Structure 1
Amino acid sequence: MSNLKNQLANKAGGTATKKQPQTMQDWIKVMEPQIKKALPSVITAERFTRMALTAISTNPKLAECTPESFMGALMNAAQLGLEPNTPLGQAYLIPYGKSVQFQVGYKGLMELAQRSGQFKSIYAHTVYENDEFEVEYGLTQNIVHKPNFDDRGKPIGFYAVYKLTNGGENFVFMTQREVEEFGKAKSKTFNNGPWKTDFEAMAKKTVLKQLLKYAPIKVEFQREIAQDATIKTEIAEDMTEVPEEMVEAEYEVVEQNTMAEDADLKGTPFETK
């Protein structure tokens, strides 16, 4: 196990001082070595730590949550190499009562897909009422979208498309109402966080997740997606030790909302090879 007591040692001769972090900011600083281990090379521990501190200052409710759930969510973001609570929209740390829920944003989902090396392209778009839009189902299936950039009107739906490196392709379309009903039914944080502040981004993420359910993706990518909408309690009760698996091994999925569920979705896919 990673011993936080050793990290808190500040006496000459290497004698450890039992000093428990008092604030969430303290915990972030104490956990920086573990964060550094989990992060990919594209993000430095210093930058990631600043993002975590900024998230707390921007949303003080995060500081009122349990350190276990906050650090668990933060380590989720670190392991996936996604920036939490930034304008990039890759990932979110969302207060839910006294717990912090980790959510992958739609841009984070696309980033993970691109990293897998299986996708030639993957994207999601909003359909507006004044756009020219057609969906064809049957033996020959297709989707046509020509935006009206002069006057687009209100959003009426969302779709996601992927093309695989091996030539396969697929799409899923959902109406505005279907996305709203899905969010209300599946997300515990529908009335809080990005569903309220950035509905369009969450709608795109929804169609992307449903699309990826039909993709022949690798197990590692499945594990990454399964960490979405989870709450972790990996720090020991005495707040002095963090199990090794929090940094290096797989997380146990505590919450629902993974790729394996949502079987009642109305969106319809197609596959061509």
Structure 2
Amino acid sequence: MATNEGLKNQLSNKQEGTRQVAAQNLGLKSLLNTPTMQKKFEQVLSKKAPQFMASVLNLYNGDPNIQAAEPMSIVSSAMVAASLDLPIDKNLGYAWIVPFYDSKKGHKAAQFQLGYKGYIQLALRTGQYKGINVIPVHEGELVKWNRLTEEVELNLEAATSEKVIGYCGYFKLINGFEKTVYWTRDEVEAHRIKHNKAKDKKSLNNVWKSDYDAMAMKTVLRNMLGKWGILSVEMQTAVTEDEKEPEIKDITEESNESNIIDYPFEGVQEEKKEAVLEQDEIVFE
């Protein structure tokens, strides 16, 4: 194991005011403040990078569940959203950073999830869609639905209650092609249970628990676009990331020392510098 003296010698060639530390030893705020991370977000978002990184911290500070997640997983999830130029404010519904429990590693991590509004936004960016939407259908609004011809008739003024009985998606391309789909709530629920990775398949978790309708509309929209829509490379990337198994990625560098990043020490108390150096000894075993 490297000693403090040996470690300091190894870092002596670094630029004044910075040291190399293991990314996993830093909290989220410190991780985002490193030159390495700032550079990566600037490469993706340019001038919008500071505002986006601030939104990551706001999300983190306002959600105890995300605070319990491994910091690098939060950053890597945020980077996916940044690459798609989608906001991560969960109230907007474009994209979410969702914490989950990694049973293999015994701690919480974060995962990127695309919202239904994110799908709509990416579809509109292709320039191929004249219109696209998805809505919940309340009791009394459905007049007729033909599963074979996919003709649906709705009376949106005839709702008899707030109970949602299904979800309807629609798009029309600029070439005139249009598609309408309708899923009953039971069909959505069957799909959710089938793809639920929790031990209790019927359990509601994460966004399904906090905003069932948003996830249901996303399910209908994603299925519709996947079968009949025009998917740009950006949309294909989004779908792939959205469907990936949860995993923690280190996005610092593409090298054998990917967990080592520059950390600014200016203005940090000496005892805190030494604490970081002591923690970092494990990297150089």
TM-score category of the 2 structures, normalised to the smaller one: 0.7 to 0.9
SS at 1:228 equivalent: helix
Within-5 A mapping of 1:223-262: 223-230=237-244, 231-235=246-250, 239-241=259-261
CA gap of 1:13–1:49, structure 2 versus 1, over 3 A, is closer
- The residue that corresponds to 1:56 in the other structure is 60
Counting helix residues as a fraction of each chain, which structure ranks higher? 2
CA distance in 2, matches of 1:104, 1:65: 19
Asked whether 1:70 is paired with 2:83, we answer no
CA contact (8 A) 1:39 1:80 kept: no
Q: CA deviation at 1:167?
A: 1.1
Structure 1, unaligned stretches of length 5 or more?
1-8, 243-273
- The residue that corresponds to 2:28 in the other structure is 24
Q: CA deviation at 1:217?
A: 2.0
Asked whether 1:34 is paired with 2:44, we answer no
CA gap of 1:86–1:17, structure 2 versus 1, over 3 A, is same
- The residue that corresponds to 1:200 in the other structure is 213
Provide Cα deviations, 1:28-63, integer angstroms capped at 9, x if missing partner. 22223211222277xx11221121111111212223
Within-5 A mapping of 1:63-102: 63-97=67-101, 98-102=108-112
CA distance in 2, matches of 1:119, 1:38: 26
- The residue that corresponds to 1:211 in the other structure is 224
230-239 or 80-89, which deviates more: 230-239
Larger Rg: 2
Amino acid at match of 1:18: Q
- The residue that corresponds to 1:172 in the other structure is 181
Structure 2, unaligned stretches of length 5 or more?
1-10, 102-107, 263-285
31-40 or 203-212, which deviates more: 31-40
CA contact (8 A) 2:131 2:173 kept: yes
SS at 2:165 equivalent: strand
CA gap of 1:184–1:132, structure 2 versus 1, over 3 A, is closer
- The residue that corresponds to 2:166 in the other structure is 157
Asked whether 1:103 is paired with 2:107, we answer no
Q: CA deviation at 1:213?
A: 1.6
Segments of 4+ in structure 1 off by > 6 A? none
CA distance in 2, matches of 1:218, 1:241: 36
CA distance in 2, matches of 1:69, 1:100: 5
SS at 1:39 equivalent: helix
CA contact (8 A) 2:138 2:161 kept: yes
Per the normalisation by structure 2, the TM-score is 0.72
Amino acid at match of 1:152: S
CA contact (8 A) 1:61 1:95 kept: yes
Aligned length: 231
Within-5 A mapping of 1:124-135: 124-135=134-145
SS at 1:227 equivalent: helix
Amino acid at match of 2:172: K
CA contact (8 A) 1:157 1:176 kept: yes
CA contact (8 A) 2:138 2:166 kept: yes
CA contact (8 A) 1:106 1:202 kept: yes
CA distance in 2, matches of 1:13, 1:74: 28
CA contact (8 A) 1:132 1:145 kept: yes
Bigger RCO of structures 1 and 2 (CA < 8 A, at least 6 apart)? 2
Amino acid at match of 2:249: E
CA contact (8 A) 1:40 1:79 kept: no
Q: CA deviation at 1:129?
A: 0.9
Percent identity, aligned pairs only, is 28
CA contact (8 A) 1:73 1:232 kept: no
CA contact (8 A) 1:179 1:203 kept: yes
SS at 2:19 equivalent: coil
SS at 1:123 equivalent: strand
